[in-house]
Amino acid sequence: MYKNQEHQLIMPDDFFLPFGGVLNKEDRWVILAQIIPWWKVEEHYAATFKKATAKGTKPFSARLALGALIIQQRQGTSDRETVLQITENPYMHELHEQNYDRVRSSNLLS
């Protein structure tokens, strides 16, 4: 079953960078993350999942799933290259969310 995560907004000043610093608020990924109505996306996305079953894996958050697809379409990359770009670029993390390990260890786009 999908758990709503509608309040996923991360402000650029609150984003954790492991080596210090802050994100540029004028970056295209930061701007895009701020203009997408994530709560609406979450509402429609959550409705596509059936009730919990004993089988299957936990679904990705709406922000992670849509953010990865937006990045893939805008960059014109393969599934693997998209995952690599997301794990390497903190601005792309801002677009979808901060769950780096889950992106890196998954078959997110397959």
In the predicted model, is pLDDT for residue 85 greater than 70?
A: yes
Q: Is residue 34 in some structural domain?
A: yes
In the predicted model, is pLDDT for residue 42 greater than 70?
A: yes
pLDDT on residue 48? 84
pLDDT on residue 108? 54
Residue 100 is part of which domain span?
A: 23-49+60-104
Q: Has this prediction a pTM greater than 0.85?
A: no
How many folded domains does the chain comprise?
Answer: 1
Q: Is residue 68 in some structural domain?
A: yes
Q: Is residue 73 in some structural domain?
A: yes
Q: Is residue 3 in some structural domain?
A: no
Percent of the chain with pLDDT over 90: 20
Q: Is residue 82 in some structural domain?
A: yes
DSSP string, 25-79: TTSHHHHHHHHS-HHHHHHHHHTTS-S--SSSPPPPPHHHHHHHHHHHHHHT--H
Q: Encoding tokens for residue 34?
A: 């701020």
Q: Is residue 78 in some structural domain?
A: yes
